[in-house]
Structure 1
Amino acid sequence: MDTHEFVKKYLVDRKGTHCSKWDGLQEKFGRSDLLPLWIADMEFRTCDAIVDALKERVSQGVFGYSFVPDSYYTALDHWMQERHHSSVPREWVRFSTGCVTGIAWSIAAFTRPGDACMILTPVYYPFHNVVTNNHRRLVTVPLHYEKGYATMDFDAIEKAIVEQDVKLFVQCSPHNPMGRVWTEEELDQVLSICARHHVLVVSDEIHQDIILGDKPFIPAAAVKGGKYRDNLIILNSATKSFNLATLLHSHIIIPNPKLREQYDAFASGMNRTEVSVLGALATQTAYEKGGAWLDGLLQVIRRNYRDLKAQFHKELPEATVCALEGTYLVMVDLRPYVKPEDIHSFIQDKCQLAVDYGEWFGEGYQGFIRLNLATSPTLIQEAAQRIVHALKD
């Protein structure tokens, strides 16, 4: 299915549906007349197979206690092997209502109040909050940024771990908002540092399926043939890939049996949440029948990125549209044209756009904006034109 066909078939108008992205603008931005390109979900209806499976299940009219069938674990393992060359045995898998919840539960299970937890900034802002709100000490290490491309500063990472006595590292892979798909060499270096200093790694891999270039996504559990598995908690989900966020279903994958035992002991007293029967069904169906739909979505995201980059290169050559190897969220550096302190008024008042602002993700990124490309090409073109016209006017 080409881009035009995908958009024609699956694009929906979400206004008036209690949609946070469209109907929550007044609360978030103080006005309701903005074009929203902020929160990370889509204007695309999920694939027909998922909708049909949910309709059939809902028609039963019973939503009582249920268990996850064997076929679910088979579908998950097959998807991971086919897409990412990484097996996920059934015994490794636990469930949560979302990946940020999985981070919170991992922090609670494997650290104590006051322990230091490390993140690499800029990074998805709930990573900051989930550490501090759980009464852990937040340690931030900046990524090295140059001309639209972010890399890890391994010396700074190791220095922070040693000096701050870091106990847990929350990794974002692929990286939101810098769009990096980390190479195996990069992952090997950072995981090696953490293993050497006994720092547990919680790897949030929710964007694993949104891979846009030739660089493959490498699950942390697959690095160097699984060398670091015993020091890993892996979080992933179908929610970003298939627009299923509020079905409240994601995975906590724990290869190390001792860590699984420790997590289960924590969960027995804290996490008594039942698995979402609709979330599990939607996820299983996505993994069994959603591959072609996802491939169509990726084509749309690639087109939107190319269009945005081409328009800015032509009209605003000093702006930087950052590299986008993975995720559907792209950072744009507008500092050559807009003073960082003026970025909010420029974007909202002059362009009438709702975006995520760079400083929400980490210090030093005021003047950047993050745009959501999982939407209609028409909306991306309109947003770019608004920015161009506002600057030229």
Structure 2
Amino acid sequence: MKAKEFIERYYTERKGTSSLKWDVLKETFGADDLIPMWIADTEFKAPECVIESLTERIQHGVYGYSYVPESFYEAVMDWEYTHHGYKLQKEWIRITPGVVAALYWSVNLLTQPGDAILALTPVYYPFLDSIKDSGRRLVACDMAYEKGVFSFDAAAFEKAIVDNDVKMYILCSPHNPVGHVWTYEELQTMLKICKKHNVFVVSDEIHQDLTFDNHKHIPTATIDNSAYADNLITCFAASKTFNLASCFVSTIIIENEELRKKWDAFVKVFHNVDANIFGLTAVEAALCGGMDWYEGIKDVIHENYLAVREGLKDFDKVYLTSLEGTYLLFIDLREYVALEDIHSFVQDKCKLAVDYGEWFGDSWQGFIRLNLATHPDIVNQAVSNLARELKAISAK
């Protein structure tokens, strides 16, 4: 499905629907007249197959205790193998109420208070929160950066591990917010270093389905024929792919049997959560019948990305990351806007609600993250506002 048809069929108004993205702007940013380009969800209805399956479940009228049906496991395994070449076994699969929950659980299961945990920054800020909130020591290793291009610095990565006696590395693949899809060689290098220093890896692959051009997501667990899988937990979900965040169903993959036993014992004592039948129903339906929708949302995202690049092309010192994966664009405004003025520039002048660079790590103030998974009119208005105010600065 192409972008135009997708937008006509699925775009919907979200104001006044208890939307975190739209209805708490005043509480979050101090103003309610902003264009919401921040939190990572969309303005598009779920695929028809999801709505129909949920409607059937609701009309049944009984909402008692449930379990994860065999058909759910089959849908997950089929999707992962078809789209990413990763052949799962049912016994490896665990369900959590979200990838962020899985990060917190992993941190508390596999490390001790005071242990050092590494994150490659800038990175999705719940990574940082899961470490600090759990009484662990955050080791932030900044990615190499030059004019919109982020890259992996293996020497700095290993030095951070050795110098801080790091026990765990939380990997973001594809990487949010910089939109980088890790290559096989990059992942292989990371995993070799982690194995060398006995560092456990938790890999958040929630954006695995959203890659563009010739970039292909490689499941971390498949590197070197799963040679590192005994020291790895993989997390993914349909929530970004199909806009199902509030269904609270994520898939956790643990290949190592002893580690699965530890996980199960930990969850049983501290986080015993029954299956959410509505979330399971929605995810299974999307994985089995949502391909046209999935292709349509990707077309929208890519066109919106091209529109942002076109709209800001006259500002040669505004540096945009390349959209290899995710639907998030990280923009460097530091050559135009003083760090202390970035919030007032973005909110008061451009009238935008964004995720700010410093949320993703202390070194990244002056960057903003834009959400491209929305109506092109919203993206175009946001870019127009940015361009207008950047032009005003350039004219001074």
C-alpha contact 1:122 1:143 (8 A) present in aligned 2? yes
The letter of the residue matching 2:385 is R
- Counterpart position of 1:204: 204
- Counterpart position of 2:190: 190
**Counterpart check, 1:388 vs 2:387:** yes
The letter of the residue matching 1:322 is T
Helix, strand or coil at the partner of 2:212: coil
- Write the distance in 1 (CA, Å) between the matches of 2:141 and 2:257: 30
**What does residue range 229-308 of structure 1 map to in structure 2 within 5 Å?**
229-308=229-308
Q: CA RMSD in A?
A: 0.9
C-alpha contact 1:11 1:43 (8 A) present in aligned 2? yes
Could you state the TM-score of these two structures normalised by the residue count of structure 1?
0.98
C-alpha contact 1:40 1:372 (8 A) present in aligned 2? yes
- Counterpart position of 1:347: 346
Helix, strand or coil at the partner of 2:80: helix
- Counterpart position of 2:111: 111
**What does residue range 117-266 of structure 1 map to in structure 2 within 5 Å?**
117-266=117-266
Deviation at 1:212, TM superposition (A): 1.6
Deviation at 1:391, TM superposition (A): 2.4
Deviation at 1:157, TM superposition (A): 1.4
Deviation at 1:62, TM superposition (A): 1.4
Deviation at 1:331, TM superposition (A): 0.5
- Write the distance in 2 (CA, Å) between the matches of 1:136 and 1:17: 37
Helix, strand or coil at the partner of 1:331: strand
Deviation at 1:228, TM superposition (A): 1.2
The letter of the residue matching 1:297 is I
Helix, strand or coil at the partner of 2:216: coil
**What does residue range 34-45 of structure 1 map to in structure 2 within 5 Å?**
34-45=34-45
- Write the distance in 2 (CA, Å) between the matches of 1:340 and 1:270: 42
- Write the distance in 2 (CA, Å) between the matches of 1:133 and 1:14: 31
C-alpha contact 1:355 1:370 (8 A) present in aligned 2? yes
Helix, strand or coil at the partner of 2:193: helix
Deviation at 1:363, TM superposition (A): 2.1
- Counterpart position of 2:48: 48
- Write the distance in 2 (CA, Å) between the matches of 1:271 and 1:87: 28
- Write the distance in 2 (CA, Å) between the matches of 1:190 and 1:235: 17
- Counterpart position of 1:367: 366
Helix, strand or coil at the partner of 1:240: coil
The letter of the residue matching 2:376 is P
Deviation at 1:359, TM superposition (A): 1.0
Deviation at 1:337, TM superposition (A): 1.5
Partner deviation per Cα, 1:74-132 (whole Å, 9 max, x = no partner): 11111001110111211001111110100111111111111111111110111111111
Partner deviation per Cα, 1:301-346 (whole Å, 9 max, x = no partner): 0000011111111x32221111110000100111122112111001
- Write the distance in 1 (CA, Å) between the matches of 2:198 and 2:316: 45
Helix, strand or coil at the partner of 1:241: coil
- Counterpart position of 1:324: 323
Partner deviation per Cα, 1:8-60 (whole Å, 9 max, x = no partner): 11001101111111111000001101010000000111111001100100111
- Write the distance in 1 (CA, Å) between the matches of 2:227 and 2:147: 33
* Aligned residues between the structures: 392
Helix, strand or coil at the partner of 1:140: strand
C-alpha contact 1:341 1:366 (8 A) present in aligned 2? no
The letter of the residue matching 1:329 is L
Deviation at 1:224, TM superposition (A): 2.0
Helix, strand or coil at the partner of 2:223: helix
**Counterpart check, 1:10 vs 2:10:** yes
C-alpha contact 1:213 1:326 (8 A) present in aligned 2? no
The letter of the residue matching 2:290 is G
- Write the distance in 2 (CA, Å) between the matches of 1:370 and 1:187: 24
- Write the distance in 2 (CA, Å) between the matches of 1:95 and 1:108: 17
Helix, strand or coil at the partner of 2:202: strand
- Write the distance in 2 (CA, Å) between the matches of 1:190 and 1:303: 32
Helix, strand or coil at the partner of 2:224: helix
Partner deviation per Cα, 1:238-292 (whole Å, 9 max, x = no partner): 0111111111110121011111111112112112111111111111111111112
Could you state the TM-score of these two structures normalised by the residue count of structure 2?
0.97
- Write the distance in 2 (CA, Å) between the matches of 1:122 and 1:224: 27
Deviation at 1:232, TM superposition (A): 0.6
- Counterpart position of 1:31: 31
Q: Percent identity, please.
A: 47
- Write the distance in 2 (CA, Å) between the matches of 1:380 and 1:85: 34
Deviation at 1:142, TM superposition (A): 0.6
Unaligned runs of 5+ residues in structure 2 are: none
Helix, strand or coil at the partner of 1:167: strand
Deviation at 1:356, TM superposition (A): 0.7
- Write the distance in 2 (CA, Å) between the matches of 1:54 and 1:16: 22
